Each structure stands twice: as structure tokens, then as C-alpha cells.
Amino acid sequence: MNLRIQPIPLKWSPLALPEGTLIEARLQGLLQSWERTPYAPGQQVPQAGVDCVRFVTAILDGLNQFKTPAFDVVPADAAMHSRQGAVSTIWAFCRAYGLRPHNGPETQPGDTILVAFRGGGAGHAMVVGPEPNTLWHVGQSGVEKTGWSLPADMDFSRAFRQVDRGNWK
């Protein structure tokens, strides 16, 4: 088993919003409320079960203070298991949350990172954490915080940022 890791080709930076520190603290609380929630396809229930897509939507809903989650707007993570499904899911994310591809070298807390298995396999969604060089995602142990690297069998695909982060107050 190859346990080699590779860095993500982006640089972590603090949130560039006037209320950045307060929003980062709220983001940390949202992320921690999901910590160790086991993987369960198509689910979005803290401490009971969640998949990677539903985890990211829950965090974005929390940041945007949506009263009703956009649960049925974005497909479950099974949609990420094919190239066509992954593309449809990414566009659904973009429409539902006003996300745009972020091409700069810096990424900020709350950004969405998409990765893919080497060779074009399934996609996986992650959230940039408020602590330097951290990512949050649904892994083998459930929702977990990891460092700024990927397993050797995965490649960085794209970073996305919500255009109107002014809602994050």
C-alpha cells in the first residue's frame, strides 16, 4: 500500500473579509459539530451519517445561515462516481451557492476543494479549514480534519470560492 502524500498546489491564507476572525471561529464550530460523523451515502445528519457532498453543502448552508438546507439541490456523492455525474454535481454546487472556480494561488477558509482519483476515477469534495493548512472531509474515520496534502492516488482538481461571501456574517 502506497502511503506517500503530495501537497496541494495552493497556499492557505486567512479569510479576507472584514469579520474574518469571527467567521473563521463560526466555521470552526460548524466543522467540529460534524467531526467523526460516519460516512453514509445520501445522508446529512450530524453524528449519524453524511457523505462528502452533503458535508460540504451543510458547511456552506451554515456559513450562509440558510434556515432550510439546500439538501435536494445538489446530488449525493454517488453522483461524483462518474465523470459526467461529477461535472453535473459541480455545476449544481456552483448554481446553488454562487461558487466560481478560484484560480489564484491562495485559498481561504470555507473554499471548496475538489480532488479526483488518479486515472480519472471518482471525485471527492473537501472544505478548507480555518486553521492554517487544514482540510476537512469525510474520510475513512468519518468527518475529519487533515493536513494540506492528498494521498498519492489522488490529484488536486479545482478550488471553488463563493462569490458573495458577504452573507457570511
Nearest to 74 by CA among 96, 106, 58, 102: 96
Per-residue pLDDT of the chain (169 residues; tens, 9 = 90+): 345 567 788 899 999 888 888 999 999 999 999 999 999 988 888 999 998 888 998 999 999 887 655 656 666 666 666 777 777 778 888 888 889 998 888 999 999 998 887 766 567 889 999 999 999 999 878 999 999 988 777 888 889 999 888 778 7
Task: Examine residue 78 and state whether it is found in any structural domain, yes or no.
Answer: yes
Task: Examine residue 169 and state whether it is found in any structural domain, yes or no.
Answer: no
Distance CA 25, CA 69 (A): 21
Task: Examine residue 49 and state whether it is found in any structural domain, yes or no.
Answer: yes
Query: Which structural domain, as residue segments, surrounds residue 25?
Result: 5-164
CATH of the domain at 111: 3.90.1720.10
Task: Examine residue 118 and state whether it is found in any structural domain, yes or no.
Answer: yes
Task: Examine residue 15 and state whether it is found in any structural domain, yes or no.
Answer: yes
The total domain count for the chain is 1
Task: Examine residue 83 and state whether it is found in any structural domain, yes or no.
Answer: yes
